[in-house]
């Protein structure tokens, strides 16, 4: 894991100094490797597709030689497992990052809006969130229909036009569609978070995303779990309230 050298935030301070004292936030949270400890796409392919296939693709993904969507198409062609098999696997192997339910409670208490934004699969996300008692959360995602005969990917309905910055249908569209003038917070870890996180005012990043943002001089706060995120958000509130 890459640790950021500096804890510099907020990303764009002027946006945080506006009144009123209570700053509403739009908190966009990635799912795979963020809410879960392991990326569920990798977990599924390793168990029911070709083991190690994602790892082989990582260099090309990081350099943008293939898109996340192309990698998903390629990898899930090999997956033959029923929904029940996938569900059992996710429950045993994906793991959950500490403190997510606390972040959801914090956001609700403070009147902030929290949306889960994923390039992954709604059926998997619903399963994990349902187990946490958070099945009511707003989720933007693609989906997959699993069966023993093969897996069919179902791309999200409203993914917008191809992004001019990253040349794919990225999460910026989902944020843009939901943004109502709030301060934007992004929490993520991976390649699919790169573009969207750069339109956020406050970014919490780890792993590949942290490395990417560090390389571009984009300010972010590293996190280990969601308690770190809550602590950071409280500081955003204190900062806004102090002005």
Do residues 100 and 226 lie in contact, with contact meaning Cβ atoms separated by under 8 Å? Answer: yes
HSE of 179 in the Cβ direction (CA atoms, 13 Å)? Answer: 17
CB of 77 to Mg ion, least distance (A): 21
Q: Which of 103, 166, 187, 229 binds Zn ion (CB under 5 A)?
A: 166
Residue 33 touches which of Mg ion, Zn ion, none (Cβ within 5-8 Å per kind)? Mg ion
Q: Does 27 bind Zn ion (CB under 5 A)?
A: no
For residue 119, give the nearest of 167, 68, 153, 71 by alpha carbon.
Answer: 68
CB of 151 to Mg ion, least distance (A): 19
Q: Which of 108, 165, 177, 243 binds Zn ion (CB under 5 A)?
A: 165
- Dump the DSSP string for 84-121: HHHHHHHHHHT-B-TTHHHHHHHHHHHT-EEEEEEEEE
Do residues 193 and 66 lie in contact, with contact meaning Cβ atoms separated by under 8 Å? Answer: no
CB of 86 to Zn ion, least distance (A): 28
Residue 1 touches which of Mg ion, Zn ion, none (Cβ within 5-8 Å per kind)? none
Number of C-beta neighbours around residue 220 at 10 A: 29
Q: Which of 26, 32, 67, 159 binds Mg ion (CB under 5 A)?
A: 32
CB of 170 to Zn ion, least distance (A): 3
Q: Does 201 bind Mg ion (CB under 5 A)?
A: no
Q: Does 200 bind Zn ion (CB under 5 A)?
A: no
Q: Which of 79, 170, 175, 236 binds Zn ion (CB under 5 A)?
A: 170
Q: Does 120 bind Mg ion (CB under 5 A)?
A: no
Q: Which of 85, 195, 225, 227 binds Zn ion (CB under 5 A)?
A: 195
**Judging by DSSP bridges, how do beta strands 150-154 and 138-147 pair with one another?**
antiparallel
DSSP conformational letter for 74: H
User: In whole angstroms, what is the distance from residue 203 CA to residue 184 CA?
Assistant: 9
CB of 163 to Zn ion, least distance (A): 3
Q: Does 208 bind Mg ion (CB under 5 A)?
A: no
Q: Give strand ranges (E) for 57-175.
A: 113-121, 138-147, 150-154
Q: Phi-psi category of 127—alpha, beta or left, where left has phi over 0 and alpha has psi -120 to 50?
A: alpha
Residue 49 touches which of Mg ion, Zn ion, none (Cβ within 5-8 Å per kind)? none
User: In whole angstroms, what is the distance from residue 161 CA to residue 170 CA?
Assistant: 9
Q: Does 222 bind Mg ion (CB under 5 A)?
A: no
Element (H, E) at 188: strand 183-188
Q: Does 177 bind Zn ion (CB under 5 A)?
A: no
Q: Does 29 bind Zn ion (CB under 5 A)?
A: no
DSSP conformational letter for 202: E
User: Can you give the binding site for Mg ion, defined by CB under 5 A?
Assistant: 30, 32-33, 189-190
User: Can you give the binding site for Zn ion, defined by CB under 5 A?
Assistant: 163, 165-166, 170, 172, 195
């Amino acid at each position: 894991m890459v640790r950021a050298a500096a804890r510099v935030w907020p990303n764009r301070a002027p946006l945080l100094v506006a009144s009123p004292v209570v700053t509403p936030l739009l908190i966009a949270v990635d799912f795979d490797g963020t809410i879960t400890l392991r990326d569920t796409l990798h977990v599924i392919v390793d168990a029911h597709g070709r083991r190690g296939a994602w790892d082989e693709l990582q260099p090309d993904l990081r350099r943008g030689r293939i898109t996340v969507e192309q990698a998903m198409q390629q990898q899930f062609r090999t997956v033959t497992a029923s929904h029940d098999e996938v569900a059992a696997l996710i429950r045993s192997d994906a793991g959950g990052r500490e403190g997510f339910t606390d972040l959801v409670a914090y956001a609700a208490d403070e009147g902030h809006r929290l949306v889960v934004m994923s390039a992954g699969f709604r059926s998997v996300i619903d399963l994990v969130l349902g187990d946490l008692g958070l099945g009511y959360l707003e989720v933007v995602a693609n989906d997959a229909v699993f069966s023993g005969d093969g897996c069919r990917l179902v791309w999200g309905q409203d993914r917008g036009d191809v992004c001019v910055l990253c040349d794919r249908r990225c999460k910026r569209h989902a944020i843009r569609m939901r943004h109502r003038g709030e301060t934007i917070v992004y929490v993520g870890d991976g390649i699919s978070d790169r573009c969207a996180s750069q339109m956020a005012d406050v970014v919490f990043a780890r792993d590949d995303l942290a490395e990417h943002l560090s390389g571009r001089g984009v300010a972010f706060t590293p996190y280990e779990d969601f308690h770190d995120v809550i602590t950071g958000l409280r500081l955003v509130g204190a900062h806004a309230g102090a002005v």
